[in-house]
Amino acid sequence: MAATARDLLGDIDFDPAELHAKYLHERDKRVRPDGNEQYVEITDRFASFGDDPWADASFEREPLTDHVDVVIVGGGFGGLLAAARLREIGVKRIRLIDAAGDVGGTWYWNRYPGAACDVQSYIYLPLLEELGAMPQHKYSFAPEIMEHSRRIARHYDLYDDACFQTGVTSMEWDDSESRWTVFTDRNDEMTANIVVLATGPLNRPKLPGIAGITSFEGHMFHTSRWDYDYTGGDTYGGLIGLSDKRVAVIGTGATAVQCVPHLADSAKELFVFQRTPSSVDVRDNAPTDTDWFESLEPGWQKRYMENFTALVSGYDEPEDLVGDGWTEIFRGLTGIAAKDASRRLGRRLDPREKEEMMELLDYRKMNGVRNRVQTTVVDPSTAAALQPWYRQFCKRPCFHDSYLPAFNSSNVTLVDTDGQGVERITPNGVVANGVEHEVDCIVFSTGFEYGTSYTRRAGFDVTGRNGETLSEHWADGVRTFHGMHAHGFPNMAFIGFVQTATTVNIPHALAEQATHFAHVVSESRARGASVIEATPHSEQEWLAEIERTAVRARKFYEECTPGYYNNEGHVTDGTGFAAGMYGAGPIKFFDLLARWRDEGGLSGLQLR
């Protein structure tokens, strides 16, 4: 009989049907009818969870009523990259506005102990060549990323016009003047020719919707607002304030994976409340090899970024320049593995054969992840509870070398809730599985809003040309052209996660969008236009493209355990990663944008 792709995998020492059933069982336990509604928004009595611990509380300034060329809302990498590219095409007055006290975006807020980026610094930190900067480590710690953000702001001269500790409250298009008026919580009423919304995908902390949070009499905070006054220490650890404290961490996602080892080192007692375990693979950080870094040829960063994004999009590249855990996973579990099998068999794989192979490889990879838990964590029942039962990309893969060993410390207890989560909080502690655990401090590592509306997460609404608000325009679902422009909202651009394609290396996607938008601005200027706007037709066509390309991802995520990747298990609701993004992947998306730019007609946009 002719060989099949399955034959190439050698011995299969597991039962795929059994694993599939186990995955579905674990998912079913966790899917809740309330989906995203299970979480609490940090407003009203929970508003203090969003307070900025880093900003100068006494900061005051006079309201602004001036005019600038561009207002950019959001000082994270999206906003900074948009500003950099606009500066490069000669835009003079660029105003970054951010509720935070500085640039940095997610890295401004997330200063929890152990905060670091597990995407390699050489591709994650944008504009390294432009700025002549060298990251200190293969994986940067948060302070370096924050400092790099500041360096970008200085390099492109963005501080002078910036407004920090300022929340936009609304924006209105003035058609007679062809410009926006931007209102803020500091009574500003400034105007701008162009507005860019780079408000971030995961910017609003969320809390579990459980009873009793505000009844807790101890101390509590969200990981993105770490209270070092209480814990002592800093992002590198040394949390001496916890040496006599019993601490609870709720949540075991990518953030908890990074901060739990430090809490375990410092707290008298640590209880880690788990609903779903993360997949935790090898990280292997190291200082930068300066000889290697200095040997890199000009243009290297773009080449590295593109090589990485191609590999993590399933493209078979001749070399793997980054060569880390991410590319290892993607090389093993995507089209690259299928192409390799096809080469070895000397024929194309039929779709079912390919799908079966992908599934088997995934089971094998996750068996490896589960074995890592078993060989690292000494207590058998803790080890069993820390094993993830879902396919690799159902949740964000994590990479860490101290998280699992932390559970071997005698002061650390894993409270596994068998997928049900924490039940409630009492004045004295946290209740799970019907048992109250008394603690002095609760750390909410419960993540950020994703499936909620764009305007809710941005914190403001926008009134466009016809008096229609953005939330009205998107009442039946998001509609954009290329994920960047909306009909009725002239001279406005979205940089981020709206109907676009992203990649593991998010700054790469943001950089492509920034370059694209700068092109649109410079081309429309060259044509003497001061107003650009998407046509209704271009929005419709892009929506159809999103719908067409999202189908495959949707099918995959339907079988996944709930999380923000699959709209908490409600994939068909039209929100969440799978439904709202360009499903053909970043490489095709970047190519599509590049072709559109090359065509030169700015088709799909109306110019005045």
Note the residues at the interface with ligand NDP (CB under 6 A). Answer: 30, 117-119, 202, 208, 210, 250-256, 258, 273, 275-276, 396, 421-422, 445-448, 562-564
In the complex, the smallest distance separating the C-beta of residue 314 from ligand NDP, rounded to whole angstroms, is 20
Smallest gap, in angstroms, from Cβ of residue 202 to ligand NDP? 5
Sign of the torsion angle spanned by Cα atoms 383, 385, 386, 388: positive
Q: Which is nearer to ligand NDP, 276 or 469 (CB)?
A: 276
Q: Which one, of 411, 414, 415, lies nearest residue 265 by Cα? A: 411
Contact 309, 505 (CB under 8 A): yes
Q: Smaller CB distance to ligand NDP: residue 421 or 464?
A: 421
> Which residue, 119 or 127, has its beta carbon nearer to ligand NDP?
119
How far, in Å, CA of 213 to CA of 208, rounded? 9
Compare residues 447 and 576 and give the one whose CB is closer to ligand NDP: 447
> In angstroms, what is the minimal distance from the CB of 398 to ligand NDP?
8
- Which residue's CB is nearer to ligand NDP, number 441 or number 486? 441
Long-range contacts formed by 296-301: CB under 8 A, 24+ apart: 298/129, 299/129, 300/129, 301/122, 301/123, 301/128, 301/129
Distances (CA, A) of 214 to 43, 47, 218, 311, 415: 13, 11, 10, 46, 22
Tell me how far, at minimum, the Cβ of 276 lies from ligand NDP, in Å: 3
Q: How far is the CB of 96 from ligand NDP (least distance, A)?
A: 22
| Minimum CB–partner distance for residue 256 and ligand NDP (Å) | 6
Which of 108, 481 has the CB closer to ligand NDP?
A: 108
> Coil, helix or strand for 377?
coil
List residues bridging with 208 in a β-sheet.
Answer: 39
Name the residue nearer to ligand NDP (CB basis): 180 or 564.
Answer: 564
Calpha distance 509→496 (Å, rounded): 8
CB nearer ligand NDP, residue 118 or residue 539: 118
Quickly list DSSP for 235-278.
TTB--GGGTT-EEEEE--SHHHHHHHHHHHHH-SEEEEEESSPP
Q: In whole angstroms, give the CA distance from residue 27 to residue 563.
A: 10
Q: How far is the CB of 408 from ligand NDP (least distance, A)?
A: 21
Half-sphere exposure of 241 (CA within 13 A, CB side): 13
CA distance 4 to 2: 7
Strand order, beta sheet including 435-438: 424-425, 429-432, 435-438
Q: How far is the CB of 262 from ligand NDP (least distance, A)?
A: 14
